[in-house]
Structure 1
């Protein structure tokens, strides 16, 4: 895998590594300024392949993974492109169901990390936002809670059974969440669902999926904000 970041001097770098037996190994870094690859003397890092969560924020890369010592303890790791080292295991928000913290997703928004905790066990969705985020420190604040019974009342037929919020973003000012998915109906429509406070709900049909087999895949939505940092090559 390859991840792009930059250090405190705005020098862009590429982190290269392989994942073998759920461990990050063969770690190298490429520096644009010197046009060189270097092998990093960094020990293997445990990484849960099923999470597939790698988020870039303020030049660094964060990823969610269980603690190597205890897979029941999930946390957040950071690769600091300035020190070229992995930081300590950072805490995630407390799970709202004892012993269950398996379905999570993390995105970046306005220089913050936003975490979605989705547990079918107790039929609830929570969204948390960082109030402070550094390679060695993270503080969380709850942004939003959604009860699955509310979702059941919004979506037609049995669609809520298939609802899988893996592509989404938030509007922190308007306090709404936008989810993207494909309906498992005959036409396989690509949909955007806007959910807010006080029961606000709106669905937007983005058109039929070009291929029926797309229903088995998630819509991938990305927010691109032009960076003020210019890459020197």
Structure 2
């Protein structure tokens, strides 16, 4: 690292303020003065504001083909066709394949493909924290993960539990403030009477994690009673079942997404229909939820897609912009004549649709997964 650069502070700030988020850590490693300045709270907040103002839409983290990328979604106030998605760069090095990614308060949790390691970090200013995932056998079981915020201790925690077509078990939690790689703590939680499939990723809203769950006793795959469940990171326990604004069959597409302002959105597409609906909450807490009386989006894709089409029920991660009245859904597209590719579907509330090609998929049946990203100064350790 260079000891110093002979530049005035105001000029150094101006130079650093023009550096993209994905390059800040590399720049900080070249010069001690710049490294110190980049971690200054006043400058960092100024830089984050400038990055936010430059973005016409919002930043998202997208996992594709076991890699993680930062992308900018630019939405147009004219029409969907004028909107675009720009890839800024890879957020994590090639030293690990990532199979799951989660976000909370600017912190990302990336789970390795073999599920033996996790990396928690702040892409803006943090040093990656590598965590060993505990397992007793050589064959690693399927686990669900989530990251949240303990409001009583003002610390972030990572939850892990086993859940694969069965009642959740083996609940463990990792406190990021502990500073140790192996300080997983076992939680004394009675296995609940519901199940969560590992195809459904948890999302963080107001520091708590939410999943789509169904009744454990139901063995009929044609119909299951489905609902939301929440893990409260402050109380370190699950809340009661929370109702969804619809009922659905097992192979319908259902996906959850956090919304600006501490709200939750849910996307629903029946397996035999081109109609897509999205609801948004007006209240969301660990033990209570209520939904806006008016559906945010209810459109038929017949005008744009002239064949039977369904967002993958193993994928379909999405975001909405309430002001622009647009939804963006990430998925795969299969064409018998061409290689499978990763796509983003930009959908207007009027039913207009634009497909954005994100590149050829080298791992079919492993659709891209997107989660919101808001840069922050939180440190993982």
Class of the TM-score when normalised by the shorter of the 2 chains = 0.7 to 0.9
Matches of residues 165-184 of structure 1 in structure 2 within 5 Å? 166-184=316-334
Give the CA deviation at 1:173: 0.7
TM-score, normalisation: structure 1: 0.81
Aligned residues: 222
| 3-state SS of paired residue (2:372) | coil
Partner of 2:189: 42
Q: Which of 257, 270, 281 does residue 107 from structure 1 map onto?
A: 257
Q: Which of 290, 297, 314 does residue 139 from structure 1 map onto?
A: 290
CA–CA distance in structure 1, aligned partners of residues 206 and 274 of structure 2: 33
CA–CA distance in structure 1, aligned partners of residues 198 and 160 of structure 2: 19
Partner of 2:174: 30
Give the CA deviation at 1:102: 4.3
Matches of residues 179-194 of structure 1 in structure 2 within 5 Å? 179-185=329-335, 186-194=338-346
| 3-state SS of paired residue (2:350) | helix
Q: Which has the larger radius of gyration?
A: 2
Give the CA deviation at 1:138: 0.6
CA–CA distance in structure 2, aligned partners of residues 209 and 232 of structure 1: 33
Cα distance change of structure 1 residues 162 and 47 upon mapping to structure 2, 3 Å threshold: closer
CA–CA distance in structure 2, aligned partners of residues 203 and 114 of structure 1: 21
Q: Please list the CA deviations of residues 178-227 of structure 1 after superposition, one character each: whole Å capped at 9, or x if unmatched.
A: 22334323154543332213343333344x4164xx45332223321124
Larger deviation, residues 137-146 vs 187-196:
187-196
Partner of 1:7: 150
Cα distance change of structure 1 residues 215 and 135 upon mapping to structure 2, 3 Å threshold: same
TM-score, normalisation: structure 2: 0.52
CA–CA distance in structure 2, aligned partners of residues 202 and 174 of structure 1: 15
Give the CA deviation at 1:26: 1.5
Q: Please list the CA deviations of residues 22-54 of structure 1 after superposition, one character each: whole Å capped at 9, or x if unmatched.
A: 111121222234564432221012323165231
- Please, which runs of 5 or more residues in structure 1 have no aligned partner? none
- Please, which runs of 5 or more residues in structure 2 have no aligned partner? 1-142
Partner of 1:58: 206
Give the CA deviation at 1:118: 1.0
Matched, 1:153 2:303: yes
Give the CA deviation at 1:136: 0.5
CA–CA distance in structure 2, aligned partners of residues 143 and 163 of structure 1: 18
Matched, 1:202 2:354: yes
Give the CA deviation at 1:69: 5.5
CA–CA distance in structure 2, aligned partners of residues 140 and 181 of structure 1: 26
Partner of 1:219: 368
Cα distance change of structure 1 residues 34 and 154 upon mapping to structure 2, 3 Å threshold: closer
CA contact (8 A) 2:210 2:231 kept: yes
Structure with greater proportional strand content: 1
CA contact (8 A) 1:51 1:104 kept: no
CA–CA distance in structure 1, aligned partners of residues 176 and 325 of structure 2: 39
CA–CA distance in structure 2, aligned partners of residues 117 and 210 of structure 1: 25
Partner of 1:78: 230
Matched, 1:130 2:281: yes
CA contact (8 A) 1:51 1:65 kept: no
Matched, 1:120 2:267: no
Give the CA deviation at 1:58: 1.6
CA contact (8 A) 1:12 1:231 kept: no
